[in-house]
Amino acid sequence: MKLNVGILGATGAVGQKFVRLLEDHPWFTVTAVAASERSAGKRYRDAAHWIEPTPMPEGVADLEVQLCEPGLDCDLVFSGLDSSVAGTVEKAFASAGYPVISNAKNHRMDDDVPLLIPEVNPDHVDLIHRQTYSDSGFIVTNPNCATVGLTMALKPMQDAFGIEAVHVTTMQALSGAGYPGVASLDAVANVVPYIGGEEDKLETEPLRILATRTGEGPHSSVTSLSIPISAQCNRVPVIDGHMECVSVKLVGSPSLVAIEKAIRGFSSPDEISVLPSSPASCLEVDHSDSAPQPRRDVHRGDGMTVSVGRVRSCPVFDARFVVLSHNTIRGAAGGAILNAELLAARGLLPRRLA
């Protein structure tokens, strides 16, 4: 029997992606959709300006949109809320006993909230036991859409060698700004060398995700690493797919062969690779000259595979490479769903209702 899930912020761009990715999900069924007062009371089909490239799932289209308040008829909620409201709304749901699987930034850096990439730091899940919202409610978050690709690419290097410094310049897709998001006159045939708040996230979130958890259960703790990361973020006229040019300085200046071997050797832990949304390969290295590219490669692993290309030595640091990840799937709704699957597999998502 499937778990019933609610979607907070269901009419927005991330909310719609949740709706689409959860269509036919083997473990979850969408039974509740919630949004702002403007949408509440309408059918989802009337409230949402549907922007996904496949038709709106029939089962959800007829749901009545509710307010983002506890009382939704479901076992857990996914949050695609805007950060202007996510902070308090998510707390309210956790306090009311709901597991909250959030894509919002608000609680990502909370001491007791896992900032989770299942393939990278599944043991951080333990932090939920420190949370005191209610008996059964808690919050789990996934990182910023640009953080996830960088962090997955850095993980094997951190494990094998240790990282000393990182330079990263991003070229981020328009869908990362939601809908309506970037004005077309700013986007077409243009680059905008600034995305509010993004560089800060990219310079801090990986340090929390890559950190080692200490203690267990209610005593678990994560202290961010203190590696300097310099991020420069740009918006480019691409639909889906964040590209990142990365340069890393590693402990002991390992050879390029050793670095490539480390990246290539990285794979999902067994616990993760069996989850429904886990791709065949979570980190794929491409050897062709001019890969990865958003239009060509962003759909690998149904948007859950992170692609790495152009691994080569760096005249300044030790290695350079390009990372591509799907910003609204791996970097948002898909990442959150994988988080929920990990929690479900560990028995942390009990049925709430009789």
8 binds a second copy (CB under 8 A): no
183 binds a second copy (CB under 8 A): yes
User: H/E/C letters for each residue in 84-142?
Assistant: HHHHHHHHHHHHCCCEEEECCCCCCCCCCCCECCCCCCHHHHHHHHHCCCCCCCEEEEC
Which residues ranging from 89 to 128 are in contact with a second copy (CB under 8 A)?
none
* Residue closer to a second copy, measured from CB, 117 or 298: 298
> Rounded distance, CA 195 to CA 318, Å?
28
Annotated active-site residue 242? The verdict is yes
- Residue 289 Cβ, how far from a second copy at the closest point, in Å? 5
First to last CA, the chain: 13
250 binds a second copy (CB under 8 A): no
136 binds a second copy (CB under 8 A): no
26 binds a second copy (CB under 8 A): no
* Binding letters toward a second copy, positions 36-75, x by CB under 8 A: ---------------x-xxx--------------------
Burial readout 328-337 (b: 16 or more C-beta within 10 A, e: otherwise): bbbbbbbbbb
Annotated active-site residue 74? The verdict is no
187 binds a second copy (CB under 8 A): yes
31 binds a second copy (CB under 8 A): no
Determine which one of 145, 233, 282, 326 is catalytic.
145
* Residue closer to a second copy, measured from CB, 191 or 274: 191
269 binds a second copy (CB under 8 A): no
* Residue closer to a second copy, measured from CB, 140 or 308: 308
Which residues ranging from 287 to 346 are in contact with a second copy (CB under 8 A)?
289-300, 309-310, 314-317, 320, 322
Q: How many CB atoms lie under 10 A from the CB of residue 58?
A: 9
Number of residues that bind a second copy (CB under 8 A): 60
Residue of 245, 258, 345, 348 that binds a second copy (CB under 8 A): 245
- Residue 182 Cβ, how far from a second copy at the closest point, in Å? 4
> Rounded distance, CA 135 to CA 149, Å?
34
219 binds a second copy (CB under 8 A): no
192 binds a second copy (CB under 8 A): yes
* Stretch of residues binding a second copy (CB under 8 A), selected from 30-38, 60-68, 242-250, 339-347: 242-250
Preceding amide of 180 cis, omega within 30: yes
> Rounded distance, CA 12 to CA 333, Å?
12
Residue of 228, 265, 276, 350 that binds a second copy (CB under 8 A): 228
191 binds a second copy (CB under 8 A): yes
251 binds a second copy (CB under 8 A): no
The alpha carbon torsion through 292, 260, 115, 121 (nearest 10 deg) reads 140
> Rounded distance, CA 313 to CA 1, Å?
51
- Looking from the CA of 214 toward its CB, the CA atoms found within 13 Å total 4
* Stretch of residues binding a second copy (CB under 8 A), selected from 26-34, 165-173, 269-277, 345-353: 165-173
Preceding amide of 292 cis, omega within 30: yes
- Looking from the CA of 334 toward its CB, the CA atoms found within 13 Å total 21
User: H/E/C letters for each residue in 26-78?
Assistant: CCEEEEEEEECCCCCCCEHHHHCCCCCCCCCCHHHHCCEEEECCCCCCCCEEE
Where in the sequence numbering do the catalytic residues fall? 145, 242
List residues near a second copy by CB under 8 A.
51, 53-55, 165-167, 169, 171, 174-175, 179-194, 203, 228-230, 232, 234, 236-239, 243, 245, 247, 289-300, 309-310, 314-317, 320, 322
